[in-house]
A and B are shown apart, each in its own frame.
Chain A
Amino acid sequence: MNQWQTLTHEGLWANNPALVQLLGLCPLLAVSTTVVNSLGLAIATLFVMVGASTAVSLVRHQVPSTVRLPAFVMIIAAFVTCAELLMAAYAYPLYQLLGIFIPLIVTNCAILGRADAFASRQPVGLAALDGLMMGVGFGSVLVVLGGLRELLGQGTLFSDMALLFGPFAANWQLTLVDDYQFLFFVLPPGAFFVAGLLIALKNVLDQRSAARALPAAASPRSERRVRVTGIIK
């Protein structure tokens, strides 16, 4: 794998901000009630991540390390303001719906984390790609979470997509179960629950692929430890 492929794999899967780093959980859990909410916040976060990573990388030689965090936060805040104004201009109903969570993108530690840990030490191209992949990784988890919660909570998918795509998307709603509501998944506890299941699913998939990659020589018998759950063989 070359560096670009590594970055893509890290951002989308191996070091996914939402599933592995567990950063930016506040917007992830609060906003992901429907696909359209998730998608709106995902696009805004992606925009800020790419922009902030690129800009931080551009000024990395000019910013003394003592003031780097405030400087990065200012850069991120500038991009968040852009995203906020753009949303207010082109998707006003969604802008109102997401409310405080758009300005709060500034405090999304996934963005500042990547700016400090990666973009401030790497050339512009790599930093932009890292921002893009981290943003897409975060956004796709957000959208999947939103989809699952919308489905389990209201029995629909893609409702109100017109908020983001205009009247063109007015009839995109799929109603899978009529007259159905399961409030737990609409409320914040449901977000924790579904996010936990997604993390568990990722760990299971990783374990499976690791077990497949491992030759049969290293059988589980060679490693024994005291445990209180599971089967002791």
Chain B
Amino acid sequence: MSMFHASQVDDASSLLMAPPTASLMRWVVIATLPGVLAMTYHFGLGVLSNIALASIMGVLLEAAMLHVRSRPIAPALTDTSALLTGVLLGASLPPASPWWLIGVGMLAAVVIAKQLYGGLGHNPFNPAMVGYALLLVSFPTYMTLWAPPQPLINDTLWAQVLGTLPTPQLDALSGATPLDAFKHKAEELSAQQFWLSSPLPEKTLTAWYTISLAWLAGGVLLLIKRIISWHIPAALLGSLVALAALFYLSDSDRFASPIFHLLTGATLFGAFFIATDPVSAATSQRGKLLYGAGIGVLIMVIRNLGGYPDAVAFAVLLMNLCVPLIDLYTVPRPTGHAKDAPGVPR
């Protein structure tokens, strides 16, 4: 959809100064560093093994697909978009995921969601989230196995990554994310009783809070460097917090607080790094606001009323589907044209 019309038509100078794709993508990779480092600090080297495996596979699959499609390989690889897809998917998966799980996810992301639709710039769906959604639907046991915070080096890391760890040991490692734990709390427990019962292993909440704030820091870097505009994250977070507050005020025992929804789970990561993908997001500024707000609403609806504890991937994919419609109705009116002039978009 990025080719539908120029991104900021009412601000032509920014178009002339727009940096090329490669440096854009490189900056996004750099901006993921705070989040990735915070995750590694709290959840161990399994985070880095995820990202390394996913990025390597992403680049190899991209090269293989470009070769099959007889397109030039070098320029497409140096734009680092496949690498970025790998980093984003790797950061979304539970730490120390087995190699085959990452492989299936990257296959869906790069081969199916990106290259089969025509390569960079033509994919209607966010590749990393297609991979994530496919894995979440297909392998729920592996995808919900999120180990509690742990030291950097873990004895079972290799066995986990190679997929050779026996199931009982694997089950012993698993934990719940805060969103998951709250969603499955006993019905009769009030929110206060739930938190007093120390439902999560030590330091879990702090770990998630710091990771979210680290993603926010990366997002701010992207805003300062003007890689992304403020519209999508602001609309997404605004609608998410507003709706979370409404739910919370209606029944604070059943629904978690807006702060909880903002700082645990993938909210901030999704708002700055997933929803802002320039290819699959809406293009005009009004369109971006609508698109972001839609994602925020869908995240809250699925989290609070649906079957899944987190919903960033599904919300982004559903709004990706709406992008052609949003783009159709939010074409900016050129300066100087009257509102109702014939041929001028409303």
Residues of A whose CB lies within 8 Å of any CB of B are 182-184, 187, 189, 228-231
Contacts and interface: CB of A to CB of B under 8 A. Distances in A.
Interface stretch (B56-64, B91-99, B134-142, B172-180): B134-142
Nearest to A200: B116
Given A231-B70, A231-B71, A183 B138 contact: yes
Contact of B122 (A183, A184, A187, A228): A228
Contacts of A231: 70-71
B122 A229 contact: yes
Contact of B138 (A182, A228, A229, A230): A182
B118 interface: yes
A37 to B, nearest CB: 20
Nearest to A186: B138
A184 B134 contact: yes
A120 B197 CA distance: 73
B239 to A, nearest CB: 27
B118 A187 contact: no
Interface of B is mostly: loop
Contacts of B3: 228
Contact of B139 (A183, A189, A229, A230): A183
Interface of B: 3, 69-71, 118-119, 122, 134, 137-140
A230 B134 CA distance: 27
Contact of B118 (A183, A184, A189, A229): A229
B70 A229 contact: no
Interface of A is mostly: loop
Contacts of A182: 138-139
Contacts of B119: 229
B71 A187 contact: no
Specify which of A184, A187, A189 lies most central, judged by the most chain B CB atoms within 10 Å of its CB.
Answer: A184
B3 to A, nearest CB: 8
A184 B3 CA distance: 32
B138 A184 contact: yes
A229 B134 CA distance: 26
Contact of B137 (A184, A228, A229, A230): A184
Contacts of A230: 69
A9 B138 CA distance: 38
B118 A228 contact: yes
Contacts of A184: 134, 137-138
Given A182-B138, A183-B137, 18 more contacts: A182-B139, A183-B138, A183-B139, A183-B140, A184-B134, A184-B137, A184-B138, A187-B137, A189-B137, A228-B3, A228-B118, A228-B122, A229-B118, A229-B119, A229-B122, A230-B69, A231-B70, A231-B71
A228 B70 CA distance: 14
Nearest to B139: A183
The 7 closest A-B pairs by CB, nearest first: A184-B138, A229-B118, A183-B138, A182-B138, A184-B134, A184-B137, A231-B70
20 contacts: A182-B138, A182-B139, A183-B137, A183-B138, A183-B139, A183-B140, A184-B134, A184-B137, A184-B138, A187-B137, A189-B137, A228-B3, A228-B118, A228-B122, A229-B118, A229-B119, A229-B122, A230-B69, A231-B70, A231-B71
A146 to B, nearest CB: 19
Contacts of B137: 183-184, 187, 189
A231 B66 CA distance: 11
A229 B69 CA distance: 10
Contacts of B118: 228-229
